[in-house]
Structures are given as C-alpha cells and as structure tokens.
Chains A and B, each alone.
Chain A
Amino acid sequence: MTSNNLPYHDTKPQGAADFYFAINATFRFIHACLGRDGWVRYLHELASGYFAPVNEVWRRDGLQAVAPYWRDFYAAEPGAEVDVHDDNQTVTVEVRVCPAIAHLKKHQREIVPYYCEHCYHLNNARAEAAGLCMRLAGGNGRCRQTFSHAADPQDMNTIAEATS
C-alpha cells in the first residue's frame, strides 16, 4: 500500500470519468456471454485477485484500515460525494452521489439494472477475505455500505435497481 492508502498511484489526482462507460459495458458483456453466475464469479475473482493487496492490509489492520481506504478511494473518483464514518465497531460509507451512476445518467447511457449489485458482490468478497463483512442498502445513485465483523445475511431486495 502507498502512503495515501490506495495500492496504486496515477500521475493525475482523479480518474477519467468516461471509464465508467467501460465498466458498465464490461458488466453487460460478461452477463450476456457468461450469465449471471459468470458475472458474479468475475466479481468474486476480481475481489480475491486484483484487490488482494488491499484485502491483505484490511486483514492485518482490521476495520481501522477500512475507513481511510474508502476516503482516499472516493477522493480519486470524479464527482463522488461520500461521507465515511468510523465508530470502531463499524465503518459506514454513505454514498450521497455515486460518481459512476451520476456520470452514466448524465451521458444518457443505458445502465445495466444490476449495476449496484456489483458493489455488494465485490466489496463483501473483499471484506470476507479480511475476516469482515459488508452489507449494502440503497443504490441507483445513493447507498449505504456498512463494514463490520458480523451482520445478518444481505437482503438483496434492499439493493435498488439502477435506472438510466
């Protein structure tokens, strides 16, 4: 991990928002070619593979490493409006403006309806790799993501469908 809690550094302070087009298109392609199970497997393997350096820090340092990571993560995402709260038992990420959904809507892109589920599948898998769990409520531009040591099973009905 680098000094600002992200594993990788770019030469510019924030990413290029048009890449959200590619993330949305990637979901659509994998879902169409490999089905829903294939798409979920993609997210789980991305979580355990690509994100392994972050998972390792979370596993080593616990919840205290989770909040600073998300603060730095969203600071590098253009258009994000997010508050991160840490009370030692849970870390709550309040997404007031999801940068991806906002950019896709602004440019009238057809958003895959299951877009917001990716945050649950990906982030819970990353949390589980560190002995934690993550639950999500909301979606379609605003949501709450809660990281803790234990929680009731995720109710998928609490994750909103994304609309264009």
Chain B
Amino acid sequence: MIGCYDFCGHYDWTFAWLRKQGGADLERAYWQDAIAGDSQRHAADLIKPLGFAGMAKYWEHTLTEEAAGYTITKGENVFRTDMHRCPSRGFLLDNGISFSADYCDHCIGWIGPVMKEAGFVIDHEHNHCGQCWWEMRKAEDPTAPSEPGDLARQADVRLRENWKASPGKLDRFSRSTSVTEKELPPSRRLSRGARSDSR
C-alpha cells in the first residue's frame, strides 16, 4: 500500500517519474489536473464562492492537519501566509530525500490554477529550506506585495535570519497563477539561461 505517513517522499519521487515520462509539461499537467482539479478540489469549492474566507477555512484545516509551523494574516483585501516550518519540504530535508527538480514548485503548481479560476493572483517566494510566504489578492487589485514586516509584523518569514542569508536561493512569483512564471535570482538566471527551471 502507498501510505500517507511518508506521502511527501513518494510525492517527490512521482514528480521526477512524471517528468521522465513526459517532461515538465506532464508534471505541470499533474499538478493542475490531478492535484488542483481532483485531489484538492475541496480547496476550489471553498475559495471560489467564499474568497478570502474560503482560503482561511481551507488552509487553517490543512496546515493544522499537517502540523505546519505557519501564521495566517487576514487583511481586508489580502490573504497572507508565512510558512516557518513547512512540514512537506521539512520531511524531505529531515530524511535526505531529493528526487525532483524543485519540490517547492508543486505548491504554486496546483494553487496557481485554483487562484486563477477564483479570480486571484499570487505574490510568493520560497527559499527551498522549508520557508515561504504567500499573498493573495483579487486579480483586479494592483497593490504591490507588502514590505517585510508591514503586514505580518514579527511573523513575517522574511525577517528570519536564515531568510536574509539565502537571497541566492529565493524563487519568486509576482502577480502569478502559474509555475511557469517563476523569477529566478540573477545568479541562477545567468547560469540557467531561462526564466524558469520548471519549463
């Protein structure tokens, strides 16, 4: 039986297997169709009709079930999460598991399509070490993402020492709904010669 205890391990292995079968296109289709459209369809069922309230309901349940170290900041026109200890990436790091090209991409890989369908855009960064932040706003809202500490105060993951120490590791998405819209830091952009390593 494929179990849920080590789910993140075989999930990561599956990303790599799919990419081997059909390239990054198949991996992206998996996140969009199988995860966003099937497995996590309850997220869309909450977010599409309820908007920010639906996001709160979905992530408060799922992040608690997964025992994540996180904070949620609810503004009138924004929903923000700061992940200080991602249980999913943390499982891989703790167990020395590394099969796929960039495990962290799977989150925006499925959340992006859900947000697009619901009329929201995402500002997001992850540092590949189990920390990330997300801000969701309505697609028609031109507001720029918050500056560190302005919205989430002391809970802002960007204030962590290890975040400040890892600028070369940060992957960024701006007003995005797709994993293909990744903005790599300059050092990695030059070395890879591409906008996204998920293409």
A-side residues, CB < 8 A to B, are 6-12, 14-26, 28-30, 33-34, 38, 42, 45-46, 49-50, 73, 76-78, 98-100, 118-119, 122-123
- 18 inter-chain pairs at a CB distance below 8 angstroms, sorted by A residue, are A10-B6, A12-B87, A14-B5, A16-B7, A16-B62, A19-B4, A21-B39, A22-B40, A29-B30, A42-B17, A46-B2, A49-B17, A50-B9, A76-B3, A77-B3, A77-B4, A77-B5, A122-B2
Q: Mark B32-47, 1 if CB is under 8 A from A, else 0.
A: 0111001110000000
Given contacts A24-B39, A26-B14, contact A8 B1 (CB under 8 A): no
Q: Which of B13, B14, B29, B95 contacts A33 (CB 8 A)?
A: B29
Summed over the interface, the residue pairs from A and B with CB atoms below 8 Å come to a total of 111
Q: Which of B4, B22, B91 contacts A20 (CB 8 A)?
A: B4
18 more CB-based (< 8 A) A-B contacts, given A73-B3, A100-B1: A10-B94, A11-B90, A12-B67, A15-B6, A16-B62, A18-B65, A23-B2, A26-B39, A28-B34, A29-B29, A29-B33, A45-B17, A46-B2, A46-B10, A46-B17, A77-B1, A119-B1, A122-B1
What's the Cα separation between A81 and B65 when bound, in Å?
21
Residue B11 CB within 8 A of the other chain: yes
What's the Cα separation between A30 and B2 when bound, in Å?
15
Residues of B within 8 A of A21 (CB): 38-40
Given contacts A18-B62, A33-B29, contact A78 B17 (CB under 8 A): no
Which label, helix, strand, loop or mixed, suits the secondary structure of the A interface?
helix
Q: Mark B49-61, 1 if CB is under 8 A from A, else 0.
A: 0000000000000
Residues of B within 8 A of A17 (CB): 4, 65
Q: 8 closest Cβ contacts across the A-B interface?
A: A15-B4, A29-B34, A15-B5, A25-B38, A76-B5, A25-B39, A19-B4, A19-B7
Residues of B within 8 A of A38 (CB): 21
Which label, helix, strand, loop or mixed, suits the secondary structure of the B interface?
helix
Q: Which of B33, B35, B62, B91 contacts A8 (CB 8 A)?
A: B91
Residues of A within 8 A of B4 (CB): 15-20, 23, 77-78, 99-100
Max chain A C-beta neighbours (<10 A), residue from B6, B17, B66? B6
Give the nearest-CB partner of B38 in chain A: A25
Give the nearest-CB partner of B64 in chain A: A16
Residues of B within 8 A of A118 (CB): 1-2
What's the Cα separation between A56 and B64 when bound, in Å?
35
**Closest Cβ–Cβ distance, residue B5 to chain A (whole Å):** 4
**Closest Cβ–Cβ distance, residue A30 to chain B (whole Å):** 8
Give the nearest-CB partner of B62 in chain A: A18
**Closest Cβ–Cβ distance, residue B61 to chain A (whole Å):** 9
**Closest Cβ–Cβ distance, residue A51 to chain B (whole Å):** 9
Q: Which of B9, B21, B29, B35 contacts A25 (CB 8 A)?
A: B35
What's the Cα separation between A26 and B38 when bound, in Å?
9
Q: Which of B38, B94, B99 contacts A29 (CB 8 A)?
A: B38
Residues of A within 8 A of B6 (CB): 6-8, 10, 15
**Closest Cβ–Cβ distance, residue B92 to chain A (whole Å):** 9
What's the Cα separation between A17 and B39 when bound, in Å?
12
Residue B97 CB within 8 A of the other chain: yes
